[in-house]
């Protein structure tokens, strides 16, 4: 039977010629695809053996912590080399992301610790897990796309993958700083609080140099105006005596102990003197207290102990009885600032383990990002996402299927004859 007769009678073919089962049957019987059939059979056997009640949970955990290499190539045209390199690339991404997952854990935990240990553990784990999953998604998005996806891949890396890895590297360094250098962080926080208290006391001393009493300006103006009038009057003027008494008191009261009288009962100018003397006394007392604290500071080299003795109220608000920072959020922020500050100052000698784990994170991130970018730009990887190749492949498979259908139909037709 020729092709035209086959085409004319194609409507009479049984439905199985055009369904997936017939296509699978053709592939299974074609010797050119024996290796593919063997590989699929092996996967099917493995999946059957692994199926159990825990399989969905284990699969979900695996998807969170391990990058799936199958997401690193398409289905249009995949060579064994692409599959092999995809596995290597996925392993580098998995290693980098999981290293940062462990390194970031202390920072997230301490940031949430004021909520309680168990809520902090749960919340920090959830946040860290979300970032891990997000990192895996960004990594797959760098290589996922079509033949013209170079620009998208570049932007996905620049806007997501690279900044995320940079932040995670710094968070790793800060996390190790939290675990390894708590005593220094306590001292640094104490230094900051001492500096704030000293600045506040210095400002208060400056303010005490001037009289702040609400009546001071009014009585001072009255005193100055009265003295100006008194200086213009002749000593023989009848108003002179009464004005002098209102300003300074009578001549008979010159030996009076004015300190025993209330402020309101004093003559005007003596009220000014009383307010100025009180202000000066307050200033001297505050100055003496401040100088005593500075002297104590020179005797105590430990800032935490000095803060406890000199400013006990501030110490109780900021630290526990054992000398640990009360606010876990402040502690985490301080660790991050301290680590970044040392890094910017190139204070390598004092960084220790923080620098070591930070560099490990940077190195793994550079390797994974570089490997991912180079892999995503390969022509054979881009071909696996190519829609034109996928369309041509489907067209070719359809032609092969129709050829198989023709042979099958002809064979059945000949047998019937």
**Helix orientation angle between 55-65 and 117-143, rounded to the nearest 10 degrees:** 70
Residues 180-189 have pLDDT tens digits of 888 889 999 9
* pLDDT band at residue 190 using 50, 70 and 90 as cut-offs: very high
* pLDDT band at residue 275 using 50, 70 and 90 as cut-offs: confident
325 forms beta bridges with 319
The stretch 66-89 carries a mean pLDDT of 81
* pLDDT band at residue 111 using 50, 70 and 90 as cut-offs: confident
* pLDDT band at residue 54 using 50, 70 and 90 as cut-offs: low
pLDDT the model gives residue 11: 43
Q: Is the pLDDT at 131 greater than 50, yes or no? A: yes
User: Alpha-carbon distance 89 to 72, whole Å?
Assistant: 8
Residues 6+ apart with CB under 8 A from 410: 1, 6
Residues 6+ apart with CB under 8 A from 121: 109
pLDDT the model gives residue 17: 46
User: Alpha-carbon distance 97 to 135, whole Å?
Assistant: 7
> Of 276 and 292, which is predicted with more confidence?
292
Q: How many C-beta atoms lie closer than 10 Å to residue 399's C-beta?
A: 10
> Of 333 and 241, which is predicted with more confidence?
333
> Of 12 and 409, which is predicted with more confidence?
409
pLDDT the model gives residue 417: 59
* pLDDT band at residue 18 using 50, 70 and 90 as cut-offs: very low
**Candidate from 122-136, 146-160, 202-216, 296-310 with smallest mean pLDDT:** 146-160
The stretch 111-116 carries a mean pLDDT of 84
Distance (Å) of CA 274 to CA 171, 228, 268: 60, 20, 10
In the chain, where the domains are located: 192-324
User: Alpha-carbon distance 341 to 349, whole Å?
Assistant: 13
* pLDDT band at residue 299 using 50, 70 and 90 as cut-offs: confident
Q: Is the pLDDT at 73 greater than 50, yes or no? A: yes
Q: Is the pLDDT at 25 greater than 70, yes or no? A: no
**Helix orientation angle between 182-208 and 268-299, rounded to the nearest 10 degrees:** 160
319 forms beta bridges with 325
pLDDT the model gives residue 413: 62
> Of 97 and 267, which is predicted with more confidence?
97
pLDDT the model gives residue 63: 75
Q: Is the pLDDT at 10 greater than 50, yes or no? A: no
> Of 81 and 399, which is predicted with more confidence?
81
């Amino acid at each position: 039977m020729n092709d035209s007769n086959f085409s004319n009678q194609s409507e009479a073919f049984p439905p199985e010629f055009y369904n997936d089962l017939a296509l699978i049957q053709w592939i299974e019987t074609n010797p050119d695809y024996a290796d593919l059939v063997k590989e699929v059979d092996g996967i099917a056997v493995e999946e059957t053996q692994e199926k159990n009640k825990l399989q969905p949970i284990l699969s979900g955990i695996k998807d969170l912590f391990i990058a799936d290499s199958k997401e690193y190539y398409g289905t249009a045209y995949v060579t064994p080399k692409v599959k092999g390199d995809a596995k290597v690339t996925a392993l580098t991404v998995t290693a980098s992301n999981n290293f940062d997952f462990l390194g970031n854990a202390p920072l997230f935990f301490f940031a949430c610790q004021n909520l309680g240990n168990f809520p902090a553990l749960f919340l920090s784990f959830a946040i860290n897990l979300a970032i891990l999953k997000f990192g895996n998604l960004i990594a797959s998005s760098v290589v996922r796309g079509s033949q013209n996806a170079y620009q998208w891949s570049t932007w996905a890396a620049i806007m997501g993958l690279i900044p995320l890895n940079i932040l995670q590297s710094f968070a790793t360094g800060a996390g190790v700083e939290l675990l390894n250098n708590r005593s220094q962080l306590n001292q640094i926080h104490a230094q900051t609080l001492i500096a704030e208290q000293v600045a506040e006391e210095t400002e208060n001393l400056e303010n005490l140099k001037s009289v702040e009493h609400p009546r001071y300006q009014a009585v001072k103006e009255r005193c100055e105006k009265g003295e100006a009038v008194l200086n213009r009057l002749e000593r023989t003027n009848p108003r002179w005596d009464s004005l002098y008494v209102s300003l300074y008191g009578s001549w008979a009261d010159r030996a009076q102990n004015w300190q025993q009288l209330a402020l309101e009962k004093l003559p005007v100018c003596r009220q000014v003197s009383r307010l100025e003397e009180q202000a000066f006394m307050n200033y001297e007392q505050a100055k003496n207290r401040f100088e005593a604290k500075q002297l104590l500071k020179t005797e105590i080299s430990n800032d935490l102990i000095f803060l406890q003795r000199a400013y006990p109220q501030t110490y109780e608000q900021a630290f526990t009885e054992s000398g640990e920072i009360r606010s876990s959020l402040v502690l985490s922020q301080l660790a991050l600032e301290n680590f970044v500050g040392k890094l910017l100052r190139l204070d390598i000698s004092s960084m220790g383990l923080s620098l070591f784990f930070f560099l490990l994170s940077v190195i793994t991130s550079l390797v994974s990002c570089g490997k991912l970018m180079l892999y995503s730009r390969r022509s054979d990887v881009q071909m696996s996402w190519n829609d034109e190749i996928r369309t041509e492949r489907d067209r070719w498979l359809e032609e092969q299927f129709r050829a198989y259908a023709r042979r099958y139909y002809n064979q059945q037709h000949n047998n019937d004859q």
